[in-house]
Amino acid sequence: MKNFNMALRSLFKKGRSNGIKILALAVGLAMGLVLVAKVCFERSYDNFYPDNERIYLVKSDLNRDGKKDSWGQVSGAIAPGMKAEVPGVEFATRYTRIGENNELIMTPEEQYLTATILLADTSFFDIFPRPLLVGDPKDVLARPGYVMISRSLAEKMGGVGNAVDKTFVRDANHGSPFTIGGVFEDIPENSHLRYDAVASLATMPEWSTTNWLGNDRYIAYVKLLPGTDPNGLAPAIRRMQERNQDMEGLKKAGVDLSYSISPLQDIHNNNKEVKDMNYMLIFMAIILISIAVLNYILVVISTLIGRAKEVAVHKCYGASGKNIFGMILSESFLHLLLSLLLAAFLIVIFKGKIEDLLSASLSALFTLPTMSILLAICVVVFAVTGFVPTWLFMRIPVATAFRSVKESKRYWKLCLLFVQFVATAYLVALLITISRQYDTMISSHPGYAYENLVYCNTRGVDPQVRDRAMAELRRLPQVKMVSCSTELPFSYPSGNNINIPGDDRDLFNIADMYFVGDNYFDLMEIPVVEGHAFRPDEANGDKIMVSRKFVDLMEKTAGWTGSIIGKGVMVSEHSKGTKVFTVCGVFDDFRIGSLKGPDTRASIFFYATPDCYNPPANILIKMNTMSSDNLAEVNRVLTETITGKVVEASVYKMDIVRQYQDDRDFRDAIMISGIVTLIIALIGLLGYTADETNRRGREIAIRKVNGATAVNILRMLSRDISYIALPALAIGVAVAYINASGWLEKFAERIHLSFFIFIGAALFVYAVIISCVLIRAWNVANENPVESIKAD
């Protein structure tokens, strides 16, 4: 306690630089610990489910003409079939999504809310149990039209007790109400499967939930009995297929279909993008915490000379090594404690920004298991910040109290600065790379024009009402052109198989863009390279538009040569085994999805006839000029013509930018980390420069007496720091180059990594370093040498 009181009294002593030590350590710990918490959060996905190690995702594995593919969706009968026919399966369930994530729902009181809704069978909560507040999911999910909802959704509807037996409808389908039969506890944030409501799968038509082939829209999971080897299920799964699927027909079509299972926790943790992000974040955390700790030690070493006499005097008065040990360790503990309190304060102050950048709430980041890991890190930090200074102070001899001290610990300081320079160069170079790639992604041309494009989703609106709204929009002087489509290019459309009449083989799978209206290709400015686009004055119901890649694949798989215009193909979902569609035009390939995960399949379009079964719900509006006033006028027309539904036009470009929000957040995190690291490194550099000019004061004065100018002195000091700065910067940018190359691999279109950019990053950091040295040493270089010699 005595040592702790002494540490408290020493906090504000002149020359200790305690404020700088505590502040720099606090900032480094705040950022570093938050990043470690984020990695722990990512690694904890789905671990809250009981027996999660026995839960597996069922995957479809396809081998067509030697080309293998795998995806996490199956037909409706697969999950119950595995429960009934595969030994070792304790439970099996399947679900499918209905509507979009966070889509609008409406209560009878016309209260609008957002919810993500699943349709699941009665075994869903056997595999993914949640604490139940009201209702029995077995009973609720057995009744068509009934739904279990989350606590948060129930509270928005008036409370858990009042929500049961209430109804709501999806804004996209007012004709199919859902009745609330129960309430479950909210899904934690670290779940790969987030939803607000689980509705009965009995709502779906029976053929969809019991078919063995096709309609593979369902996501299926199994929970194995304890002790079951997942690798031993393949033979039983194959026998199940042979009993229930037309294996001979699949073989004739050139398809080998099988099923496999993948561990639940691998769904998120084995995702390459997640693994790469975790690696980068933990590396950044190590850098930030290490830089903060090294800066602390650097400042301690800088104050060592000033405190040497004090420690020596303590020893003269009988202080033992144990006493010195306790005194210095208490100071380090107090500094760390204050740094952690300040770090916690900073985290709370910047709560909103942290949650936005890391896409997780503080309560989800700082759980008890994570706190134990963070505590262990703090113990390591205390060991380094406590024992290194203690060891240095305990080595101070008693004679120091009676003589002038010249020891500078210069090489310690240079080593610490070297590490800080490496880290700074690494983060600055990495930031430049990430920023360039992000700018490339949001400005990259996708093969169609979207600069002045807005759209409105009118799913659930009567087609005649939608047509009337489009007609009114065309009358606006602000609007250049209007069309409609089922799919939007930045989304990921479902697929269908292509074959030709008289051939049972499935040639390849395409990205089905479904139906579009008049002038779609003109509005989107997608070039038609052969034939023509759909013509409004012609019958287009049996025509399709295909991409260049479609033409290439037909040549490879069907042997077609020459022009494809006028030739007929069959599309599985649309043809129903009989209808043949004629190719009327070929368009240039354009990007479907995003640069991070583009859909590389060939694509096709159908014309939206009045009786098409999947009407184009997206109204596309090309503006003459994009402005808030023009957008407001479009929304006014939409609201007046489409009543009883919330409709609002969205700016297409903003949705393109949102696709890369994670990358923007990552860029911002790197930028903040780089700025913090640079500031901490410069604090250490300024302290080192001050120490060097004080230590070498007589030398500098003698040089000036012998004719050296201020420029010569500044050049000498700059040269000395350059000996460690240049190698450190070279190492930092080299490591950044290696890491940036790996990070860029996930993008289909990526920037060229020119090493000149990294050299530029190193030169920028070098310029900042030299500038700080020159500014800090300017007064000494211009000081009267006589005054310096007198003072010495």
Domain span at residue 667? 419-440+662-792
Percent of the chain at pLDDT exceeding 90: 50
Structure tokens at 732: 């930092």
Angle among Cα 688, 689, 694 to the nearest 5 degrees reads 100
- 17 contacts: CB under 8 Å, gap ≥ 6: 299, 302, 303, 687
Per-residue pLDDT, averaged over 119-138, amounts to: 96
SS3 141: coil
Does residue 412 belong to any structural domain of this protein?
no
More confident residue, 456 or 414: 456
User: Pick from 690, 670, 687: which is nearest to 761 by CA?
Assistant: 670
Least-confidence region, from 226-240, 385-399, 559-573: 385-399
Look at residue 322 and tell me whether its pLDDT is greater than 90. no
Q: Judge whether 693 lies within some domain.
A: yes
Asked if residue 498 belongs to a domain, the reply is: yes
- Pairwise pLDDT comparison (131 vs 6), residue with the higher score: 131
| Structure tokens, 391 | 């060891």
Q: Of 241, 264, 287, at which residue does a domain stop?
A: 264
- Is there a single domain that holds both residue 96 and residue 59? yes
Position 304 scores a pLDDT of 60
In degrees and rounded to multiples of 5, residue 122 shows phi and psi of -70, -10
The CA distance from 785 to 349, in Å, is 49
Q: Say what the pLDDT of residue 789 is.
A: 55
pLDDT attached to residue 389: 73
3-state secondary structure of 628: helix
Which band of pLDDT confidence, cut at 50, 70 and 90, is reported for residue 130? very high
From 203, 235, 264, the end of a domain falls on: 264
Task: Band the pLDDT of 118: cuts 50, 70, 90.
Answer: very high
Whole-number pLDDT of residue 564? 94
pLDDT of residue 146 exceeding 80, the answer is yes
pLDDT at 716 over 90: no
- Distance separating alpha carbons of residues 209 and 120, to the nearest angstrom: 10
Q: What is the dihedral of CA 660, 661, 667, 669, to 10 degrees?
A: -160
Is residue 97 packed enough to be buried (19+ CB in 10 Å), middle (13-18) or exposed (0-12)?
Answer: middle
pLDDT in tens, 52-105: 999 999 999 988 777 788 889 999 999 999 999 999 999 999 999 988 888 888
Chain-centroid distance, C-alpha 447: 25
Pairing between β-strand 650-651 and β-strand 479-485 as defined by DSSP bridges: unpaired
Q: Are 434 and 400 in the same domain?
A: no
Asked if 96 and 25 sit in the same domain, the reply is: no
Chain centre distance of CA 466: 36
Average pLDDT for 558-585: 91
Mean of the pLDDT values across residues 217-245? 94
CA distance 554 to 197: 43
Q: Is residue 487 located within the same domain as residue 592? A: yes
Strand residues in 107-196 grouped as ranges (E): 112-120, 132-134, 146-150, 167-170, 173-184
> Residue 781: pLDDT above 70?
no
pLDDT of 67: 77
Cα distance between residue 456 and residue 485, in whole Å: 10
- Tens digits of residue pLDDT in 484-499: 999 999 988 888 889 8
Instruction: Tell me the mean pLDDT in the region 607-631.
Output: 91
pLDDT for 48 equals 94
Q: 221 and 76, same structural domain? A: yes
For the ranges 185-194, 542-551, 742-751, the lowest mean pLDDT is seen at 742-751
The span from the CA of 649 to the CA of 762, in Å, is 46
- Which of 79-83, 110-114, 311-315, 608-612 is predicted least confidently? 311-315
Neighbours of 541 (CB within 10 A): 14
pLDDT band at 172 (very low <50, low <70, confident <90, very high): confident
Cα–Cα dist 610/484, whole Å: 13
The arithmetic mean of pLDDT across residues 153-178, rounded, is 89
CA–CA separation, 594 vs 623, rounded Å? 24
- In which band, very low, low, confident or very high, does the pLDDT at 596 lie, cut at 50, 70 and 90? confident
Band (pLDDT 50/70/90 cuts) for residue 419 is confident
Report which DSSP code applies to 225: P
Quickly list H helices, 194-263: 206-210, 234-244, 247-252
Asked if residue 450 belongs to a domain, the reply is no
- Whether the predicted pLDDT of 691 surpasses 80: no
Distance from C-alpha of 574 to C-alpha of 568, rounded to nearest angstrom: 13
Q: Flag whether 735 is in a domain.
A: yes
The residue that leads in pLDDT, 198 or 253, is 198
In a domain, 451, yes or no: no
Tell me: do 399 and 322 sit in the same domain: yes
pLDDT for residue 397 is more than 60: no
Looking at residue 774, what is its pLDDT?
82
40-61 average pLDDT score: 95
Give the residue-averaged pLDDT of 152-159: 92
Both 425 and 531 in one domain: the answer is no
What pLDDT is recorded for position 401?
41
Pairing, β 55-64 against β 219-224: antiparallel
Residues 211 and 335 in one domain: no
How many domains does one find in the chain?
A: 4
Q: Do 102 and 74 fall into the same domain?
A: yes
Other residues' Cβ atoms within 10 Å of the Cβ of residue 217: 17
Residue indicated by tokens 């709501």: 168
Considering the domain architecture, whether residues 463 and 573 belong to the same structural domain is answered as yes
Beta carbons of 325 and 394 less than 8 angstroms apart: yes
Q: Tell me what the pLDDT averaged over the chain comes to.
A: 86
258 token code pair: 């099988």
Assess whether pLDDT exceeds 70 at residue 408: no
Q: Give the amino acid at 617.
A: A
Q: Give a yes or no: residue 550 inside a domain.
A: yes
Q: Are residues 402 and 423 in the same domain?
A: no
What pTM was computed for the model? Answer: 0.83
With a cut of 90, say whether residue 3 has pLDDT above it.
no
Q: What pLDDT is stored for residue 527 in this prediction?
A: 96
Answer whether residue 269 is part of any domain: no
What does the pLDDT look like over 734-780, one tens digit per residue? Answer: 999 998 888 888 787 888 888 889 999 999 999 998 888 888 777 66
Tokens of 476: 């606006």
| Range in 154-158, 434-438, 441-445, 706-710 with the lowest mean pLDDT | 706-710
pLDDT of residue 296: 84
Contact of 749 with 594, CB cutoff 8 Å:
no
State the pLDDT at residue 405: 47
The three-state DSSP-derived secondary structure of 401-449 is HHCCCCCCCHHHHHHHHHHHHHHHHHHHHHHHHHHHHHHHHHHCCCCCC
Is 359 within 8 Å of 665 (Cβ atoms)? Answer: yes
Share of the chain above pLDDT 70, in %: 88
Residues 71 and 31 grouped into a single domain:
no
Could you tell me the pLDDT band of residue 700, with boundaries at 50, 70 and 90?
A: low
How does pLDDT run across 430-475, given as a tens digit for each residue? 989 999 988 888 888 999 999 999 999 998 888 899 999 999 999 9
